[in-house]
Amino acid sequence: MTLAFVNSPLDRCGNLRSDSVAITQLRVEQTSLTIQMAGDSVLFQNNAPHFLSGAVDNTILLGRDENNVHWFAKSVAPSDDLDFRHLRALASDGVLSAPVLSIMAQARSLLHWHERHGFCANCGAATVMADAGYRRHCDVCSADHFPRTDPVIIIAVRHGDNFLLGRQAAWTPGMYSTLAGFMEPGETIEQAARREVFEESGIKVGAISYVMCQPWPFPTNLMIGLIGDALNTDITIDPKELETARWFSRAEVRTMLDRTHPDGLTATHPIAIAYHILEAALKA
Interface residues toward a second copy, by CB under 8 A: 5-6, 8, 12, 14-15, 102, 105-107, 109-110, 113, 116-126, 134, 143, 145-151, 182-191, 195, 199, 210, 212-215, 217, 220, 222, 224, 238, 240
Q: How far is CA 156 from CA 78, 199, 205, 226, 281, in A?
A: 38, 15, 11, 6, 7
CA atoms within 13 A on the CB side of 95: 14
Q: Phi/psi of residue 150, each to 5°? A: -100, 110
Cis peptide bond upstream of 49, omega within 30: no
Q: What count of other Cβ atoms lies within 10 Å of the Cβ of residue 142?
A: 10
Nearer to a second copy (CB atom), residue 28 or residue 125: 125
Nearer to a second copy (CB atom), residue 87 or residue 157: 87
CB of 162 to a second copy, least distance (A): 25
Nearer to a second copy (CB atom), residue 4 or residue 278: 4
- Exposure string of 204-230, with b = 16+ CB inside 10 Å and e = fewer, is ebeebeebebbbbbebbbebbbbbbeb
Nearer to a second copy (CB atom), residue 224 or residue 281: 224
| CA pair distance 51, 152, nearest whole angstrom | 32
CB of 208 to a second copy, least distance (A): 11
CB of 92 to a second copy, least distance (A): 19
CB of 146 to a second copy, least distance (A): 7
CB of 61 to a second copy, least distance (A): 12
For the chain, give the number of residues: 284
Nearer to a second copy (CB atom), residue 208 or residue 267: 208
3-state helix, strand, coil in the chain (%, to 5): 25, 35, 40
DSSP assignment of 172-229 equals: PTTEEB-EEEE--TT--HHHHHHHHHHHHH---EEEEEEEEEEEETTTTEEEEEEEEE
Nearest in space to 278 (alpha carbons), one of 179, 172, 168 = 179
CB of 187 to a second copy, least distance (A): 6
Nearer to a second copy (CB atom), residue 163 or residue 216: 216
Residue type, 36: Q
Nearer to a second copy (CB atom), residue 11 or residue 93: 11
CB of 171 to a second copy, least distance (A): 22
